[in-house]
Structure 1
Amino acid sequence: MHEMSVALAVIDQVETAAAQTSDVTSVRSVRLLVGELAGVVPDSLAFCFELACAGTLLEGAELVTEPVPGRARCTPCAHEWAAGMPPRLSCPECGGAEVELVSGRELQIAEVRWGDGDPPHAATHEPTLEEC
């Protein structure tokens, strides 16, 4: 299941960040940007995340997924539109096929909130998850 490998990658990145901060004892929540075109089902990801967190620093943490709509831009005429799903990859304005996806493929940790008493930590370098 693709979502399980994504959940494990998120947990690994959060645990790595926590190891760099000596006073972190738990994680309250992780906010993840999930692009419409990323090929990830948020409900399946949430289920896998809960299972994968068992016995880790993230056990009991909430996964908050924030959808990012897919958007495309025509290179010749610069028209931008909602790509949709399945994505429309020809320009509705000029019919051109030279298209750039400008958003919707994100799979990115946006914020981690550490356990009680710890200040929230917003990802400063906005790590992205490698394709799993």
Structure 2
Amino acid sequence: MHEMSLAMAAIDLAAEQATQRGFTKVTALWLEVGSFSCVDPDTIAFCFEAAAKGTVAQGAQLHFQHQAAEAWCYDCNQTVTLTERGQACPECGGYKLRVAQGDSLRITDIEVS
């Protein structure tokens, strides 16, 4: 379950940013979850709640923003939206694709008090 290490890293980063700016509490965190990131939002929320106990992020609300996977097709020279890994280009049927977005997890916003 890699979600625990991801949740802990998000807490560490949010706590560091909050304390550097003189805040004592992280009240909310927005995470952008790519559809190819292999991250389950429910699992990371569970892990976040457990890992945040005793930290400045305890009780913080998690908000998820989902990002569709997009890839560049070298066969038809277009950016296309993909729904699953290994999928052919929906425009030309080619398989020469490079994922351009949607394979990551990132913090987009932090709310502090």
Shared fold (TM-score greater than 0.5)?
A: yes
Give me the whole-angstrom Cα distance separating, in 1, the residues matched to 2:94 and 2:18. 47
1:106 corresponds to: 104
CA distance in 2, matches of 1:93, 1:58: 44
Structure 2 residue runs of 5 or longer lacking an equivalent are none
Identity %: 37
- 1:88 positional shift: 4.1
Alpha-carbon distance between aligned partners in 2 of 1:4 and 1:78, rounded to the nearest angstrom: 38
Please give the per-residue CA displacement for 1:69-102, whole angstroms capped at 9, x wherever unaligned.
11222123123332113x2442233332221112
The answer as to whether partners of 2:15 and 2:26 remain within 8 angstroms in 1 is: no
Alignment of 1:1-132 (within 5 A): 1-22=1-22, 24-85=23-84, 87-115=85-113
Aligned residues: 113
TM score, norm. by length of structure 1: 0.78
| 2:27 alignment partner, SS class | strand
Q: Shift in Å at residue 27 of structure 1?
A: 1.1
Q: Distance in 1 between matches of 2:102 and 2:58?
A: 29
- 3-state DSSP class of the match of 1:60? coil
- Judge conservation of contact 1:89–1:99 (CA < 8 Å) in 2: no
- 1:49 aligned counterpart, secondary structure: helix
3-state SS, counterpart of residue 10 of structure 2: helix
Separation in structure 1 between the aligned mates of residue 38 and residue 52 of structure 2, nearest angstrom: 22
For CA contacts below 8 A with separation 6 or more, give which structure has more relative contact order.
2
RMSD: 1.4
Runs of 4+ in 1 over 3 A off after TM superposition: none
TM-score, reference length from structure 2: 0.90
- Higher normalized strand content (fraction of residues): 2
**2:89 aligned partner, one-letter code:** C
Q: Distance in 1 between matches of 2:75 and 2:88?
A: 11
